[in-house]
Amino acid sequence: MAARAGAGTGGDDDSPLLDDLMPWSVRPLRTGRPWVTAPDAGSLRARWERLVRAEAAERERLFWPTRLRTPQTPVAALPGQSTGTGRFARESGPCPEPVRILHGPFDEQWLLPDHRLIDAARPELWRVADGHQLFAVEHGYVPQDTGPALSVTALLPDGDSPAGRPGRIRPLYRRPGGLEPNLAPGLLALLRARHGDAVTDHSVLAWILAAARHSPAGCVVPLPADTAHWSAGVELGQELLRLQLRGARGGERPRLPGGRRPYVRASVPPVPATLEYDRADEALLLGTGRISPVPAGAWEFRVGGVRMLELWFERRTATAGADDVDGLEAVRPRTWPQEWTSELLELITVLALLAELRPRQEVVDDGPRITADDLRAAGVLPVPVAARRPASVLDHQEEGPDGQFALL
């Protein structure tokens, strides 16, 4: 198979797109109303209670109707969820258990899993979300973006983009139970012929996570022709994967070495109004609260040009103490919860460790490559149309609108 030497000094014009390597993708979720997600599950339960106890006119206002969802809209149940399918105007039952999601890159939040409340919930993602599934999430193209091109999570991702240019969500498996990898037909066989039988769907995902690059045409993934480069990239990708999964799938939670772990040096105030970084002391200042040491790499870690720590903080404090906030979004913690501090410490750790690995990502694909032309010559490209569509995974009835059942 032909390969181009010196790929690290050239462009990515001859590298395949992620869209061809992981051909089935799903657009980001679109909630239609911001109050169905929150950084804490308690707020979602309180919002539900306020909504279902409201009189008809007030319920309509609080609901925040859109073209796709109003309190009168009957919809099918979300796969794997036991919420109602009748009109929400008649709902009086208990709050469904909030589910943990990844809200954009690196921000773990909560979602009310009721299809009647979500404009575009992407049921095809819910059908394959299980204890085996991993989701690759593109961050969307932003010129001059030096951050990572994609992230991976075991949580259901909403695909939100910090820069407002969302990419796509790509499940690793097309079927529940870790069955049928979402890889171009023939790709695994080609890579095994080149790099050995140790190549698996997980190692391909690890390589993609390590080597993916931004481009105006979409996320590109240089493929190495040299096995030494492949092995080094997979090893790096597995470390990136371990950090981003944060202990999911039986892994260890990320930790910085002793002496570098961030600690709370001064308690976070009940309502921290500002977030600042003291570079000289490596300290993160939340109002009068103080966390250190916080490596500069964690503070400067950006996706789409947006600092992740600043965005995380803003999402938890933007409406705190605001007198003009109305509706269900106003139902939120009145003081800073202790669990947010714990989550912040872990996020600092994750971003600091990822920042340390960024220089290795920049050079991981230096060397001869398997080009898109090579993939075409091997019959891997073009990808069959069927591989870009969701697999038919249902062997049972799903509840449709107003309790109607249909076998899909």
Q: Residue 287 pLDDT > 60, yes or no?
A: yes
Distances (CA, A) of 323 to 126, 270, 320, 326, 327: 37, 17, 9, 8, 12
| Helix, strand, coil percent content, the chain, rounded in steps of 5 | 35, 15, 50
Beta carbons within 8 Å of 76's beta carbon, 6+ residues apart: 85, 115, 123, 398, 399, 400, 401
Q: Return the pLDDT at 2.
A: 37
Beta strand 99-102 pairing with 108-111 = antiparallel
**What is the pLDDT averaged over residues 343-357?**
98
Residue 187 · residue 21 · CB < 8 Å:
yes
- The three-class DSSP label of residue 275 is strand
Confidence of residue 10 (pLDDT cuts 50, 70, 90): very low
Distances (CA, A) of 269 to 109, 151, 334: 22, 32, 12
CA distance 206 to 242: 10
**What is the pLDDT averaged over residues 226-254?**
96
**What is the pLDDT averaged over residues 190-212?**
98
Please report, rounded to a whole number, the percentage of residues in the chain having pLDDT higher than 70: 91
Confidence of residue 150 (pLDDT cuts 50, 70, 90): very high
Confidence of residue 25 (pLDDT cuts 50, 70, 90): very high
Q: Return the pLDDT at 258.
A: 85
Confidence of residue 166 (pLDDT cuts 50, 70, 90): confident
Q: Residue 236 pLDDT > 50, yes or no?
A: yes
User: Following DSSP, what letter does each residue of 277-319 receive, concatenated?
Assistant: EETTTTEEEETTEEEE---HHHHH-EETTEEHHHHHHHHHHTT
Distances (CA, A) of 388 to 21, 22, 383: 10, 8, 8
Q: Return the pLDDT at 17.
A: 97
Confidence of residue 11 (pLDDT cuts 50, 70, 90): very low
Q: Return the pLDDT at 400.
A: 61
**What is the pLDDT averaged over residues 71-100?**
92
- The three-class DSSP label of residue 169 is strand
Q: pLDDT for 306-339, tens place per residue?
A: 999 999 999 999 865 555 567 999 999 999 999 9
Q: Return the pLDDT at 7.
A: 33
What is the pLDDT of the chain when averaged over all its residues?
91
Q: Return the pLDDT at 403.
A: 56
Q: Which of 11-15, 251-255, 316-320, 331-335 has the weakest average pLDDT?
A: 11-15
Q: Provide the 8-state DSSP code for 376.
A: H
Residue 219 · residue 19 · CB < 8 Å:
yes
**What is the pLDDT averaged over residues 110-121?**
97
Q: H-type helices in 55-165, by residue range?
A: 56-63, 123-128
CA distance 57 to 89: 10
- Angle ∠(359,361,366) on CA atoms, nearest 5: 105
Q: Return the pLDDT at 242.
A: 97
Q: Residue 369 pLDDT > 90, yes or no?
A: yes
Confidence of residue 82 (pLDDT cuts 50, 70, 90): confident
Asked if omega into 293 is within 30° of 0 (cis), the reply is yes
Q: pLDDT for 48-65, tens place per residue?
A: 999 999 999 999 999 999
CA 10 to chain centre: 30
Q: Residue 5 pLDDT > 70, yes or no?
A: no
- Could you tell me how many residues make up the chain? 408
